[in-house]
Amino acid sequence: MRILWLVNILMPELAAAVGLPAPYAGGWLTGQLQRLDAERNHIAICCVRPETAALLVREVNGHTHYVLPADADWAENFREILRTERPDVIHIHGTEMESSLALMRLAPPERTVVSIQGLVSVCAAHYLAGLPERFAKAGFFKRLLGKRLDIRPIAVAREDFARRGRSEIALLQSARHVIGRTRWDEACTGQINPARHYHFCNETLRPAFYRAPQWRYAECEPHTVLISQGNYPIKGLHQMLEALPLLLKRYPDLQVCVAGWTRLGLLPQMAGGGWKQRLRQPLETWLFEYDTYLRRQIERLGLEGHVRFLGPLDEAAMCAAYRRANVFVSCSSVENSSNSICEAMLLGLPVVSSYVGGCGDLLADGQEGLFYPFDAPYLLADAIARLFDDPQRAERMGQSARERALLRHDPERNTARLMEIYEQIVSAAEAEKE
């Protein structure tokens, strides 16, 4: 079968071939690509990236990669790619980017399927959850300077979600086929387009998480919490900080480790650097609102020395971070199906999660992990303490979660299901043509 993918990242195999840094997000696509190769499919992959000034076409490991410039005429590029590839099925991974709508408008709708990763149109409504009201607006000068320095204040970032959400809604309204994996994305896409055909399919995670040793309490660092992201408000790190003073009363050695990219606002001010750097630093502190807010909360709540920012981690380093942790926490204000929760479950690391979005479909509360309400940091603290205090219960939960995750993320089963969806779409399109 000839398959055309549109993805939001530069695939790792291509990044290595052209000498660009490999992405840390979207790694599950690599695992799925390897499995589809085993089914003898011809797969071409498109993405839109700012790293290239002109359409880049490169053959890597039997796949044709197309990288479109961010400021290109996408319609012209997509038309040429569709003519060249003549795909039996077009798979658009994610609705978040406007390039997805550009391809949807040109691709034959009867042969096109859209996977739900997250829904920015819905996430925009949750963007400011748990933050002071002052972040809901950004003044004229803050907007102007932010635009000049390419730094988005919180209100502007939320507006960007809402703007992309309008493109997302237009995409889903024209989609005939949608792939999802939670009741949340089924409900949300159904409200936008009741006529779409919803296909259920779980995801295959990054290969390293299937090979890594299972988490064991005896091998972890007690009273260590891992959070996989904290660089923007939806991930809820500000709520985690509110829970920490309650935990520190009982666990003075507590450490919260935050993986992922971190902006300058959370880093110590650089000494020296010339007058331009010294002038720019206070502006960046003012404009990097969320990061500055987190830093000030750390100072106000006396959390210095208890919050560590690990930076971006590759698969192996992320596996090691999970296995060192005592508990994994997802404190997001909204999620569809958090791959970080799923990775923790696959390793057997006990999970505490806010009960939001599609997270309720991932684990059974009290048996495979613990849920708490997003807006109740004191209950987040209680859930973490229960796992800290009862290592045997934590291990039992982790084992139960691992058993569920091994079934849900079984590569063979998920590939078979995805191929079944592709075949159903192609058969229906052929029948419609007749």
Query: What local confidence, expressed as pLDDT, does residue 264 receive?
Result: 44
In whole angstroms, give the CA distance from residue 217 to residue 394.
8
**Mean pLDDT lowest for which of 55-59, 267-271, 307-311, 361-365?**
267-271
Give, to the nearest 10 degrees, the angle between helix 237-248 and helix 377-389. 60
Kindly indicate the confidence band of residue 215, based on its pLDDT and cuts at 50, 70 and 90: very high
Nearest to 373 by CA among 357, 359, 360, 354: 354
Centroid of chain to Cα 182: 15
pLDDT at 162 over 60: yes
In the chain, pLDDT over 70 holds for what percent of residues?
94
Query: What local confidence, expressed as pLDDT, does residue 275 receive?
Result: 53
Q: What is the mean pLDDT of residues 249-268?
A: 80
The most distant pair of C-alpha atoms in the chain lies apart, rounded to whole Å, by 72
Nearest to 98 by CA among 174, 188, 170, 200: 170
Query: What local confidence, expressed as pLDDT, does residue 39 receive?
Result: 73
Query: What local confidence, expressed as pLDDT, does residue 283 receive?
Result: 73
